[in-house]
Structure 1
Amino acid sequence: MLRLRSCTLTQLLPSPYISHVSPLHSLLSAAAASGISPAASPGFAAEEYLVSACGLTPAQALKASTKLSHLKSPAKPDAVLAFLAGIGLSAAAVATAVAKDPLLLCAGVERTLAPVVDGLTGLGLSRSEVARITVLVPGSFRCRSIVSALHYYLTLFGSMDNLLRPLKHGFWLHGVDLESMVKPNVAVLRECGLHDCDIAKLCIRVPRILKINQQRLRAMVACAKVLCVPHGPGMLRKALEAVAFSDEEKIATKVEYLKKTFRWSDTKVGIALPKNPMLLRSKERLQRVAEFLISELGLEPGYIAHQPALLTYSLDDRLRPRYHVVKFLKQNGLLHRDRDYYYAVAVTPKVFMEKFIFPHNEAAPHLAEDYAAACRGEVPARFRFT
């Protein structure tokens, strides 16, 4: 019976996928062992099939089986499983896809799935990318419209890697939503001055912005423009990220928090936010950073307002370790006391080593070692000053 099933499946597959059928043999063996076949039963034991042939857990199978109650035999699911194995899906990937969308097992191989794969590979996607798409959006994979939708999204997001990020978090819109919602929203963003590269970055980080109505989107843009004037499209994009899905009351609350935490006046807030709108989204970590910069380092609130990028760096991995190095160098006369701390924080790790560590190998041979320890959260004895 297993040999007959395999021959039948091979005949069902379009020729480009025949060479990839072998990974399905283990699935078919399990199905055959469970006695699930048209000849063995007048009906279709969907729940058993989902466990033995598709690899679902009993709980997943129980939930998914309700959508397959109309099936009378495993013929169509067998063909789909063979096809999925043929395009490179592992048993685990098949289980994930079927658990997400049991109706995938009801899709027509020749009528739907094969044309979809041909269309996606025609867009330049590799077999592995097609397989990932199948697992991430199986419900859309059984619709031929996925090809045109994916073509648009690839253009919008700029690359497959960029698109995969929101797909992993459940983002997908196709068909009427693409035409009635996504494309008009993209047009609004362009009208507001965002370049395509900025739109792509915005959509990668906040894909939900493509799903809202235009009136709400325009309100977000208006709020963002208040924050980022007079900066360009790049800053407008960051401001949109910061205010996305926050109403005026929430934004006002966050602004008050910034004023209290950094001892800023309205004027200072007006200086800091246009330079770094993302401060509105970083409330959880700002308190510790503020205590370090103001209480330990003694930086003036006005200085921080003019250099708000300081607030974007990690306290434990960057701000504190580099402060220890700068303080050590100044205490030992190896660095001018007026040297700006912000410069030491802002440069890349490579430049920091070149400017602040390597020039002092002779005078301070343990400096690199001590800096590495500070980055691990330690405070070497040489960095302790009374």
Structure 2
Amino acid sequence: MLHLRCCILARLRSSPDTSHGSYLHRAISAAAAAAPVISPNPSFAVEEYLVATCGLTPAQALKASAKLSHLKSPAKPDAVLSFLAGHGFSSSDVAAVVTGDPKVLCSSVEGYLGPVVAQLTGLGLSRSQIARLISYCHGNLHLTSIVSKLQYYLPLFGSIDSTLRALKRGLYLISSDLERVVKPNVAALHDSGLGDCDIAKLCLTNPWLLTTNVESIRAILSCAESLGVPRGSRMFMYAVHAVVFLGEEKIAAKLGYLKKTFRCRGRHCCVQVSNLAEEV
């Protein structure tokens, strides 16, 4: 406006017409046309919001903003952040949630986010654990799915922290079908004589064992048995562990070396191979 006034006054001073009514109208029109157009509703600066309000780093904000380019105002994100803050989520929890799943800022608090948090709290998860879980889900946080899967995984892995560690390592544990994929794999491991603790140990470090096809599990079990360790024995878990880490070809090579060098056989070779596998 100040620039507009200066333009008008400059034109008036240079005009020889002292009765400048019509000229004043033309001057205002010309100056208004030359002035920059300012939008009354400037677009929502998503990256700046993510940094200033959500605690993300500039690099994280740049990556997250690609999934939030449709946002035109901070109304929904403000409601989500207010909900999280009101339920005890720390600033670091919020940053973890938004970094892991930026679209959570577009969620309906009453229709989605509230029920999710309530159900997860009911399973015994703390606020920080819920934040970790959401950040691991990468947008796959569907209420009925995640609750039913946690109800299965929690007793399998023995604790909330162990379950979260497995979920962090195994991205597909959330999206895989329990009935058609996960449970048949666990059943195959059980049928080979592995107990709950053995399965938990194997799958905590190798969560893909739960989400691969059951034929792959059976092939691993057969390979482990071919090492000379019978299914159901105390040493069978070590044989499976070795096969999982090293694969059939490396197992055969290491067994040949151990038999030739140390004259060990059967389960003793298997223990040695398993120890080597842990060093890989």
TM-score (norm 2): 0.75
Distance in 1 (alpha carbons) for counterparts of 2:168 and 2:211:
17
Aligned letter for 1:243?
A: V
Change (3 A) 1:283 1:204: closer
Equivalent residues in 2 for 1:146-295, closer than 5 Å: 146-227=146-227, 229-230=229-230, 232-244=232-244, 246-259=246-259, 263-265=261-263, 268-270=264-266, 272-275=268-271, 277-282=273-278
- 1:53 maps to 53
Higher relative CO (CA 8 A, sep ≥ 6), structure 1 or 2? Answer: 2
The Cα shift of 1:223 comes to 1.1
Q: CA RMSD in A?
A: 2.7
How many pairs does the alignment contain? 242
Cα 1:105–1:170, aligned 2, differ >3 Å: closer, same or farther? farther
Counterpart Cα distance in 2 of 1:79 and 1:246: 50
Could you tell me whether the CA contact under 8 Å between 2:185 and 2:214 is conserved in 1? yes
- Distance verdict in 2 for CA 1:143–1:119, change over 3 Å: closer
Q: 1:210 to 1:271 in 2, by over 3 A?
A: closer
Tell me the distance in 1 between the aligned counterparts of 2:165 and 2:278.
21
Partner of 1:44: 44
Contact 1:185–1:214 (8 Å) recurs in 2: yes
Q: Relative to 1, partners in 2 of residues 1:74 and 1:112: Cα closer, same or farther, differing over 3 Å?
A: same
Q: Which amino acid aligns with 2:253?
A: T
Normalising by structure 1, we get a TM-score of: 0.56
Structure 1 counterpart of 2:111, which letter? R
- Is residue 228–residue 277 contact of structure 1 (8 Å, CA) maintained in 2? no
Amino acid at match of 1:131: A
- Give unpaired runs (5+ residues) of structure 2: 1-38
Equivalent residues of 1:104, 1:142 under 8 A apart: no
**Cα offset, 1:152, TM superposition:** 1.1
C-alpha distance in 2 between matches for 1:235 and 1:264: 19
1:241: Cα distance to partner?
Answer: 1.5
Say if 1:66 and 1:125 are closer, same or farther in 2 by CA, change over 3 A.
closer
Task: Name the residue aligned to 2:36.
Answer: none
Task: Tell me which moved more, 165-174 or 93-102.
Answer: 165-174
By how many angstroms is 1:145 displaced? 2.0
- 164-173 or 238-247, which deviates more: 164-173
Q: Is the 8 A contact 2:246 2:277 kept in 1?
A: no
1:107–1:113 Cα contact (<8 Å) kept: yes
- Assess if the C-alpha contact under 8 Å between 1:198 and 1:233 holds in 2: no
2:212 aligns to what SS in structure 1?
coil
Structure 1, unaligned runs of 5 or more: 1-38, 285-386
Kindly provide the amino acid, as one letter, of the partner of residue 131 in structure 2.
A
Rounded Cα–Cα distance in structure 2 between residues aligned with 1:235 and 1:271: 7
Paired position in structure 1 for 2:29: none
Paired residues of 1:243 and 1:280 also in contact (CA < 8 A) = no
Deviations 1:17-57 (Å, cap 9, x if unpaired)?
xxxxxxxxxxxxxxxxxxxxxx9844322111111111112
Overall identity of the aligned pairs, in %: 55
